[in-house]
Amino acid sequence: MSGNTAGTAIQVRGLTRRYGSTTALDDVTVAFEKDVIHGLLGRNGAGKTTLMSIMTAQAWPSEGEVKVFGQTPHENEQVLPKICFVREDQKYPDDALAKHAFKAAADAFANWNWDFANRLIADFRVPEKTKIKKMSRGQKSAVAVIIGLASRAEVTFFDEPYMGLDAVARQLFYDRLLEDYSEHPRTFVLSSHLIDEIAHLIENVVVIDGGRILLDEPVEQLRDRAVTLVGRADAMAELITGREVLHHETMGRIARTTVLGALTEAEQQLVRELDLELQPVSLQQLIVRLTTKRNHNDAVYATDMEVQS
Amino acid sequence: MSAATAEKPHTVQQQSSFARVPAAFRLQFINGSALVWVPLMIFLLAWAIAVGIGFWIDYLAEDRVPTEEPFYTGASQASLWGLAFMAAYAGSHTFPFSMALSYSRRVFTIGAVLAFGAVSVAFGLAFLLGAVLERATNGFGIEGYTFYLPYLTEGPGGIAMAGVFTTLACLTVMQLGFGAVILYKRVGLLRLWLVIIAAAVVILATVMLITQQNAWPQVWQWLVEQSALSLSACLVLVVLAQGVINYLMIRKATPA
pLDDT in tens, B112-157: 999 999 999 999 999 999 999 999 999 998 999 999 998 899 889 9
A77 to B107: CB separation less than 8 angstroms, yes or no: yes
Q: Measured between CA atoms, how close is B2 to chain A, in angstroms?
A: 5
Of B5 and B181, which is predicted with more confidence?
A: B181
B7 touches chain A (CB under 8 A): no
A100 to B6: CB separation less than 8 angstroms, yes or no: no
For residues A204 and A40, give the distance between their C-alpha atoms in angstroms, rounded to a whole number: 9
| pLDDT confidence of residue B104 | 96
> Quick one: closest CA in B to A113, which residue?
B6
Q: How large is the ipTM? A: 0.86
Q: Using the 8-state DSSP alphabet, how is residue A68 labeled?
A: E
Buried b (16+ CB within 10 A) or exposed e, A143-155: bbbbbbbbbbbbb
Q: Which residues of A touch B99 (CB under 8 A)?
A: 56, 58, 85, 87
Q: What are the DSSP calls for B153-221, one per residue? A: HSSTTHHHHHHHHHHHHHHHHHHHHHHHHHHHHHHHHHHHHHHHHHHHHHHHHHHHHHHHTT-HHHHHH
For residues A8 and A34, give the distance between their C-alpha atoms in angstroms, rounded to a whole number: 5
Find the CB nearest B256 among A87, A92, A110: A87
Q: Is the pLDDT of residue B72 over 70?
A: yes
| pLDDT confidence of residue A9 | 97
Rounded mean pLDDT, B39-52: 93
For residues A294 and A287, give the distance between their C-alpha atoms in angstroms, rounded to a whole number: 11
Query: Which B positions 98-127 lie with beta carbon below 8 A of chain A?
Result: 99-107
A76 to B97: CB separation less than 8 angstroms, yes or no: no
Q: Which residues of A touch B247 (CB under 8 A)?
A: none
Closest CA to B187 of B253, B111, B244: B253
Q: Is the pLDDT of residue A295 over 70?
A: no
Q: Measured between CA atoms, how close is A166 to chain B, in angstroms?
A: 24
Q: Is the pLDDT of residue A58 over 70?
A: yes
Q: Cα-atom radius of gyration of chain B, to the nearest Å?
A: 22
Confidence bin at A5 (pLDDT 50/70/90): very low
| pLDDT confidence of residue A201 | 92
| pLDDT confidence of residue A239 | 83
Rounded mean pLDDT, B207-220: 94
* CB A91 within 8 Å of CB B96: yes
For residues B233 and B240, give the distance between their C-alpha atoms in angstroms, rounded to a whole number: 11
Classify burial at B223, counting beta carbons within 10 Å of its beta carbon; exposed 0-12, middle 13-18, buried 19 or more: exposed
For residues A110 and A117, give the distance between their C-alpha atoms in angstroms, rounded to a whole number: 14
Q: Which residues of A touch B105 (CB under 8 A)?
A: 75
Q: Number of Cβ pairs closer than 8 Å across A and B?
A: 130
Q: Is the pLDDT of residue A94 over 50?
A: yes
Which one of A34, A55, A95 makes the best mutation probe of the B interface by having the most chain B beta carbons within 10 Å? Answer: A95
Confidence bin at B25 (pLDDT 50/70/90): very high
Q: Which residues of A touch B252 (CB under 8 A)?
A: 60
B186 touches chain A (CB under 8 A): no
Edge-to-edge strand ranges of the sheet holding A22-33: A22-33, A8-19, A63-68
> Quick one: closest CA in B to A96, which residue?
B31
Confidence bin at A304 (pLDDT 50/70/90): very low
| pLDDT confidence of residue A296 | 57
Mean residue pLDDT of chain A comes to 89
HEC string of A111-135 equals CCCHHHHHHHHHHCCCCCCCEHHHC
| pLDDT confidence of residue B68 | 84
Q: Measured between CA atoms, how close is B185 to chain A, in angstroms?
A: 12
Edge-to-edge strand ranges of the sheet holding A254-260: A245-251, A254-260, A226-232, A277-279
- Distance separating the N- and C-terminal Cα atoms of chain B: 33
B93 to A184: CB separation less than 8 angstroms, yes or no: no
Give the distance, in angstroms, between the CA of residue A15 and the centroid of all CA atoms in the same chain: 18
Confidence bin at B13 (pLDDT 50/70/90): low
Of B64 and A154, which is predicted with more confidence?
A: A154
Q: Which residues of A touch B23 (CB under 8 A)?
A: 107-108
Q: Tell me which CATH homologous superfamily contains domain A5-222.
A: P-loop containing nucleotide triphosphate hydrolases (3.40.50.300)
Find the CB nearest A114 among B5, B15, B99: B5
B97 to A184: CB separation less than 8 angstroms, yes or no: no
Q: What are the DSSP calls for B154-169, one per residue? A: SSTTHHHHHHHHHHHH
Rounded mean pLDDT, A107-127: 97
C-alpha dist (Å) from residue B131 to B40, B161, B165: 17, 11, 13
C-alpha dist (Å) from residue B9 to A103, A111, A153, A278, B5: 19, 7, 11, 49, 10
Q: Domain limits of chain A?
A: 5-222, 224-308
pLDDT in tens, A254-294: 999 988 888 888 888 888 888 899 888 888 888 887 777 66
Q: Is the pLDDT of residue A143 over 50?
A: yes
Q: Which residues of B touch A147 (CB under 8 A)?
A: 100
Q: Is the pLDDT of residue A3 over 80?
A: no
Q: Is the pLDDT of residue A82 over 60?
A: yes
Q: Measured between CA atoms, how close is A148 to chain B, in angstroms?
A: 9
Q: Measured between CA atoms, how close is B1 to chain A, in angstroms?
A: 7
Rounded mean pLDDT, A106-113: 97
Q: Cα-atom radius of gyration of chain A, to the nearest Å?
A: 22
| 3-class DSSP assignment, residue B69 | coil
Q: Which residues of B touch A75 (CB under 8 A)?
A: 104-106, 251
| pLDDT confidence of residue B3 | 42
Torsion of CA B103, B107, B112, B116, to 10 degrees: -160
CATH top-level class of A224-308: alpha beta
B247 touches chain A (CB under 8 A): no
| pLDDT confidence of residue A286 | 85
B23 touches chain A (CB under 8 A): yes
pLDDT in tens, B163-204: 999 999 999 999 999 999 999 999 989 999 999 999 999 999
| pLDDT confidence of residue A302 | 36
pLDDT in tens, A219-245: 888 877 888 899 998 888 888 888 888
Q: How many helices and strands (H and E) does chain B possess?
A: 10, 2
| pLDDT confidence of residue B98 | 96
A94 to B34: CB separation less than 8 angstroms, yes or no: yes
B8 touches chain A (CB under 8 A): yes
Rounded mean pLDDT, A113-133: 96
Confidence bin at B67 (pLDDT 50/70/90): confident
Query: Residue B162: CA atoms inside 13 Å, Cβ hemisphere, count?
Result: 20
Q: Is the pLDDT of residue A2 over 50?
A: no
